[in-house]
Each structure stands twice: as C-alpha cells, then as structure tokens.
Amino acid sequence: MRQESERRLVAVEDISIDRIVTRLLDRPPVLSGREQLVPDWRPSAPPDRPPVPAAVLLALVERPEGYTVLYTERSSRLRSHSGQIAFPGGKLDPGDADAADAALREAGEEVGLLRSEARVLGFMPTYFTGTNYLITPVVAVVSPSAPFVPNPDEVQAVFEVPFARVIRKESYSTYSIRRDGREHRTWQIDHEGHVIWGITANLTRQFRDLVLGEGPS
C-alpha cells in the first residue's frame, strides 16, 4: 500500500506543462451534430434548438508554491446557477475568433485576467450539458502580475485549488441531484468551504483523468 501511494506521489510530481500539452487537442474540436452528442443528464423533453456553443477557461495559475486551478463563485444576483462554483467562461459571441478567444474574453470580464498573462496550452473534448450547452474547455497557463478581481455583476468570489489536490483521486466524491423526477450523480470536490459539483467538478475530473492518461471514471 505504501509503495502504491509513493508511486502516485511521484506521478503527480512528474506532471509538467509539457506533458499536459501532449494530452490536449491543439485546436478547438469540431462541434458535432446533436445526434452524436450525449448530455451529462437527459431532460424529460429534448431541446428544440441546436446546442449553444460555449467555452470555459481552465487556468493553471503559476504560484511560488506550485500551480493552482482558478475557480469562481457566481454572483447570488444571477438568474441561473447563482452562487455555484464555475470556471470563467460563457457563450461564444459572434465576434469571438474561437473558443480560446471566448474563454479569455470571459475571464477578463469576470475576474480581470489579462490576455497577455495567459498562454493557451490546448483544448479538451467538448462537454454537452443537459441544458443544451456545448462547452469547449480551454486550458491555459496564467502568470498573473496582480490579484484577480471579481466583477460583482457576475462573480461573488475567486479562489484557487492546488493542482496537486485536483490530481489526487482522493479529492473526489460524488454528489446526487434530482431533476425531472430522476436522480443522477456528478463529481464533487470540497475545498476550504467551497463545494465544487456539477459541470465544473465533472470537467475538473475529466482534466485530471486526461492528464494522468486514465480512462473516463
């Protein structure tokens, strides 16, 4: 048991930015037709419109103690998903060049992240939600010169989780939610009073599995 734990620790320490890049797509994935998409949960009535393209930024923040992953707590004044934990991101606007452009724009609007301080590493496979959003996760290294500042209209708080914690399998539990009379589960991460669940926790877990070369859990 101790040897297995030591092997896991070495594996985490051996993870470099170069290794992460090799696990990512070098361009945004082509958006698939709806018939090829499987949502994270199935609503009782299928959507009557094409999926809405969206992007989120999974930011690996350079800190003296090591990399962290950036999260936001959505404003309690928002109509949807108020108070929930999320990655910076949102719908693609007509003026966005691609998913990376959209994710960086949203991060700038939400927490004051400067594009000049972000280096996009690549893209994860798209994530289709039961609410009909097709999300492209954008992974970037961020070297901030100043603290992130939440936009009070959209973001209540900003916090970071150590990359080493995100990588540890023991950091994850499951969260049950009931929609349309049916129960389904998502991943969950508890960190210093913040409960990360739903889409954000699922994307975090997918990133973790991708980095470690493990299949979907």
What digits encode the pLDDT tens for the residues 127-143?
A: 999 889 999 999 999 99
Distance of CA 43 to the CA centre of its chain: 22
Residue 37: pLDDT band (50, 70, 90) is confident
Mean pLDDT of the chain, nearest integer: 87
Question: What pTM was estimated for this model as a whole?
Answer: 0.89
CATH architecture observed for domain 2-167:
Alpha-Beta Complex (3.90)
Q: Which residues contact 151 (CB under 8 A, 6 or more apart)?
A: 109, 110, 111, 112
Q: What is the pLDDT of residue 80?
A: 55
Q: What is the pLDDT of residue 40?
A: 84
Identify the helix (H) or strand (E) that includes residue 3. Answer: helix 2-13
Does the pLDDT of residue 10 top 60, yes or no? no
Q: What is the pLDDT of residue 86?
A: 95
Residue 207: pLDDT band (50, 70, 90) is very high
Select the highest-mean-pLDDT range: 75-79, 180-184, 188-192: 188-192
Count of Cβ atoms closer than 10 Å to residue 2 Cβ: 6
Mean pLDDT of 190-216: 92
The DSSP code for 144 is: -
Q: What is the pLDDT of residue 145?
A: 97
Q: What is the pLDDT of residue 84?
A: 87
**CB-neighbour burial class of residue 1 (10 A; exposed 0-12, middle 13-18, buried 19+):** exposed
